Amino acid sequence: MQTVNVRQLKNNPSEALREAKEDMVMVMNRDQPTAVLVGLELLAGKADLPRIRYAMALSMFKDKTLSITAAAKFAGKPLGEMLSLVSQAGIPVVDYSPSELDQELANSIAFER
């Protein structure tokens, strides 16, 4: 999957459209995935549903609509692979507030005992 940022898309949309004919293109805004460009030729009679599901799972995880486990299931990926893919996309895997982090740490310490 190719990636372009919003600035690249604004400066040269034809390049992104050319790339979308060959492969899906993830549009990044401030290092976060925000959209996917898919050329109609790619969808003609044989949509790449696994890749579309992956892109949707990434987006829904980023928006906190799905947990990482649910996103992995939705994308049809093993959890470990999904964790790596999310990290590679620059999306924080763990996004706790300071109080939530303190509680999570306290729970994990209590669990180890």
pLDDT confidence of residue 106 = 81
pLDDT confidence of residue 39 = 81
Q: Of 74, 12, 5, 13, give the one whose Cα is nearest residue 34.
A: 5
Put simply, whether the predicted model's pTM sits higher than 0.85 gets the answer no
pLDDT in tens, the chain (113 residues): 788 889 999 999 999 988 888 888 989 888 788 888 888 677 766 667 788 888 889 998 988 888 899 899 989 999 999 999 999 988 988 877 888 878 877 877 776 65
pLDDT confidence of residue 30 = 85
- For residue 44, with 0-12 CB atoms within 10 Å meaning exposed, 13-18 middle and 19 or more buried, which class applies? exposed
